Amino acid sequence: MKFLYLAAILTLVLSCLLPSVSAHAFGSFNQLPIPVYLYYFGAATAVAISFILVSFFIKRSHSQTEYRTYNLLSHSYVGKILQSGYLAAAPKLVSAILVLLVVLTGILGNQITVFNFAPTFVWIIWWVGSAFGHVLIGNLWQLANPWKAILKWLTADFKPIFTYPRKLGVFPAFLGFFGFMWIELIFPNPSLPRVVATLTVAYSMVTWVGMGLFGSNVWLRYCDPFSLFFHYLSKLAPTEVRVTNASMCKSCPLDCQNSENDCVNCYECFERADKHERQVNLRPFGAGLLRPDSMSIDRVCFIVLMLAGVSFDGLSQTLAWHSLVGVDPLATRTSLLGINTIGLVGVFAVFLAVYLTIIWLARIAAGSDLSMRSVAFRLAVSLLPIAMVYQLAHYSTYLFVNGQQIIRLASDPFGYGWNLFGTANFPVSTNLNFLVIWNYQVSLIVVGHVIAVYVAHRLALNLFPSIRTAVRSQYPMIMLMIAYTSAGLWLLSARGVG
Amino acid sequence: MQSKRLIPILAAAVLIALLYLGLSFTQQHQAPGVRIIDLKVEKGKLNLNPPIIKVVQGDNVTLQIWSDESGEFHIHGYDIMVQLQSGKTSTLTFRADKAGTFDVELHTSEGEIALGSLQVTPP
């Protein structure tokens, strides 16, 4: 144990000393700034659709936050498949093998990033790629989390040693997420295979120790940054798990506080519930954002950090940023450690301040006596679609181009020159049609904007007593959304040297 | 009720389509051709600010590079290179058939120096 920590610290220190030229976790990736006309088009469309949406499509009945669902378990075949024990175990087994493979290839394999399975798998397939999966499918992390499963296999029934101090909320997860962002965006060599392996080992240790101290579900709910991140992403997704017994929720040790009648996406309740009280539902895309979810200032900070992290990544690649902070656009990450750390914290602080100011303005505009907290907490999830689509747009070529490497690496994970599945010489297509990519990026941003405006409106209708106050409260919110959307488009149009 | 909602949707769709068409016409299209660019590498830096070599997809590009240091001038992604000699001008000719941003580096006996990037935009 001590040796592992020592090894982890040594590797981190050593890798700091190595030179690095990459602007990103994975070296530079092929991208082109979107042309100015698309920037204006995206911004104008976002504005136009916001106003049309608000003027014609907001009705009193929208204050309801319920939505239609279809229970897949009620279907005879699909239900049987979903409830099979093998199906539940398979993704956990696969991901446990993948974690092991990441650690082995990272430590033993070729240390040139593109010849090693670990960096491409962790940074591109898992981190960027599974974000798509969580938005488009559902909470895959809950299905596949290998750490919880391994602990369960090893120690069938253990009692947590401490009770988690609830006052801390998700603050540990927030800190963990900040650390992760820092490693991805600022740390000099995050894609060195050995670093990836070391980080994976360190994360596993922390996770298991934490689970042992406080219990698996408690740790994952409050302290694990990825569980919270993927929980928020899958709020947009068209699937959910639901327990139809409200008393279940009231006795939930994680105080899921979901709703009066039932609880959604609380896996603790879902595990404890009787078979006939469980549902695995299809639901309209994005509808999950309307559901009440436990909120607190630390959770608001987490959501703002999701938006700030990827925005800072975009910002730090623009020439405007380089000239603002007075650094050479080709400077190495090592030489930018300080300024980038200040930059990341700064973008987060600005975004948080802007959000809270807008909420304050929304209360004034609505003339409402609701507390600042209740408004800020209830509307925070409407930032998620914007954070999401910017993430997907920003990393699109990264995923689609650099992600192809995984096909090659599957045959030669250690970079020893193997050809296990005959794909070791897979030709990675680098000839891209940027007209398609640009339009895809701009459409994504506009779609995210529309979902955000719509969701914020419905949440306001649910929160404020009259339709009049609700609509008024949304003028500052729409301004905020338009500002974020334009900023996102500007970042896509202002990319510098790569 | 249905038609009441349909009209603004249609109007918006038409407006957005017109906006897209209108704005895309403002885009200046550059025809590909022959492009000769003089570059200078001094003290490990390119004489461009920002250090981006901009060309159009389909261009026949000739880079004439003078350098105060010997080494290998390398464009990633295109994976083409030319040997530079201290105090001399070397020429690198290629067809810019791939769009995107590509790292340009100088590999010297002391290590790699990031010079900037080659930016190839669609015509």
Residue range A444-468, pLDDT digits in tens: 999 999 999 999 999 999 898 888 8
What is residue A257's predicted lDDT score, i.e. its pLDDT?
Answer: 62
**Residue A21 and residue B115: Cβ atoms within 8 Å?**
no
Q: How far apart are CA B121 and CA B36, in angstroms?
A: 16
Assess whether pLDDT exceeds 80 at residue A424: yes
Instruction: Judge whether B59 is closer than 8 Å to chain A, CB to CB.
Output: no
What is residue A376's predicted lDDT score, i.e. its pLDDT?
Answer: 95
Q: What ipTM describes this predicted complex?
A: 0.86
Instruction: Judge whether B82 is closer than 8 Å to chain A, CB to CB.
Output: no
**Which residues of chain B make contact with A24, given a CB cutoff of 8 A?**
none
One-letter amino acid at A375 equals: V
Assess whether pLDDT exceeds 90 at residue B92: yes
Assess whether pLDDT exceeds 50 at residue B1: no
What is residue A359's predicted lDDT score, i.e. its pLDDT?
Answer: 96
Confirm if A96 and A400 have CB atoms less than 8 A apart: no
**Residue B102 and residue A329: Cβ atoms within 8 Å?**
no
Give the number of other CB atoms < 10 A from CB of residue A281: 20
Half-sphere exposure of residue B27, counting CA atoms within 13 Å on the CB side? 22
Among the partner residues A32, A48, A56, nearest to B101 by beta-carbon distance: A32
**Residue A35 and residue B27: Cβ atoms within 8 Å?**
yes
Q: How far apart are CA B31 and CA B121, in angstroms?
A: 11
**Which residues of chain A make contact with B26, given a CB cutoff of 8 A?**
37
Closest-CA residue of A relative to B116 is A497
- Give the DSSP letter string of A390-455: HHHHHTHHHHHTGGGHHHHHHH-TTSSS--SSS-TT--------HHHHHHHHHHHHHHHHHHHHHH
- Residue B86's SS3 state is coil
Among the partner residues A19, A37, A56, nearest to B27 by beta-carbon distance: A37
Interchain CB contacts (distance < 8 Å): A and B: 89
B60-67 and B34-42: which strand pairing?
parallel
Residue A111, token pair as written in the block: 């240390």
Determine the distance in angstroms separating the CA of B89 from the nearest CA of chain A, rounded to an integer.
Answer: 24
Assess whether pLDDT exceeds 70 at residue A9: no
**Residue B100 and residue A32: Cβ atoms within 8 Å?**
yes
Instruction: Give the list of residues 6+ apart from residue A205 with CB closer than 8 angstroms, or none.
Output: A1, A4, A5
- Residue A497's SS3 state is coil
Residue range B12-67, pLDDT digits in tens: 888 888 888 888 888 777 889 999 999 999 988 999 988 999 999 999 999 999 99
**Which residues of chain A make contact with B119, given a CB cutoff of 8 A?**
32
Among the partner residues B5, B8, B101, nearest to A31 by beta-carbon distance: B101
Among the partner residues A330, A332, A397, nearest to B51 by beta-carbon distance: A330
Residue range A168-198, pLDDT digits in tens: 999 999 999 999 999 999 999 899 999 999 9
Q: How far apart are CA A191 and CA A195, in angstroms?
A: 7
* Top-confidence residue, A19 or A195: A195
Determine the distance in angstroms separating the CA of A351 from the nearest CA of chain B, rounded to an integer.
Answer: 29
Confirm if A317 and A327 have CB atoms less than 8 A apart: no
What is residue B71's predicted lDDT score, i.e. its pLDDT?
Answer: 93
Instruction: Give the list of residues 6+ apart from residue A406 with CB closer than 8 angstroms, or none.
Output: A117, A120, A121, A124, A125
If you average pLDDT over residues A320-346, what whole number do you get? 91
If you average pLDDT over residues A149-154, what whole number do you get? 88
Closest-CA residue of A relative to B120 is A32
pTM of structure? 0.90
Please provide the average confidence, as pLDDT, over all residues in chain B: 89
Q: Which of A86-100, A148-162, A176-190 has the least mean pLDDT? A: A148-162
Assess whether pLDDT exceeds 70 at residue A269: yes
**Residue B12 and residue A52: Cβ atoms within 8 Å?**
yes
**Residue B50 and residue A496: Cβ atoms within 8 Å?**
yes
Helix H or strand E segment including B17: helix B2-26
Confirm if A129 and A399 have CB atoms less than 8 A apart: yes
What is residue A221's predicted lDDT score, i.e. its pLDDT?
Answer: 92
Helix H or strand E segment including B94: strand B88-95
Q: Which of A138, A134, A152, A139 is closest to A96 using CA atoms?
A: A152
Give the number of other CB atoms < 10 A from CB of residue A190: 25
Residue range A345-373, pLDDT digits in tens: 999 999 999 999 999 999 999 988 889 99
Determine the distance in angstroms separating the CA of B72 from the nearest CA of chain A, rounded to an integer.
Answer: 17
Assess whether pLDDT exceeds 90 at residue A255: no
Q: How confident is the model at residue A18 (pLDDT cuts 50, 70, 90)?
A: very low
Using a pLDDT cut of 90, give the percent of chain A over it: 57
What is residue A155's predicted lDDT score, i.e. its pLDDT?
Answer: 81
**Which residues of chain A make contact with B97, given a CB cutoff of 8 A?**
431
Q: Which of A54-58, B60-64, B104-108 has the least mean pLDDT? A: A54-58
Q: How confident is the model at residue A260 (pLDDT cuts 50, 70, 90)?
A: low
Q: Which of A2-16, A368-382, B55-69, B85-99 has the least mean pLDDT? A: A2-16
Instruction: Give the list of residues 6+ apart from residue A139 with CB closer than 8 angstroms, or none.
Output: A230, A231, A234, A237, A239, A241, A265
Give the number of other CB atoms < 10 A from CB of residue A469: 20
What is residue A17's predicted lDDT score, i.e. its pLDDT?
Answer: 39
Q: How confident is the model at residue A262 (pLDDT cuts 50, 70, 90)?
A: confident
Assess whether pLDDT exceeds 80 at residue A251: no
- Residue A24's SS3 state is coil
Instruction: Judge whether B98 is closer than 8 Å to chain A, CB to CB.
Output: yes
Among the partner residues A30, A330, A433, nearest to B77 by beta-carbon distance: A30
Q: How confident is the model at residue A12 (pLDDT cuts 50, 70, 90)?
A: very low
**Residue A30 and residue B101: Cβ atoms within 8 Å?**
yes
What is residue B3's predicted lDDT score, i.e. its pLDDT?
Answer: 60
Assess whether pLDDT exceeds 60 at residue A494: yes
Determine the distance in angstroms separating the CA of A322 from the nearest CA of chain B, rounded to an integer.
Answer: 10
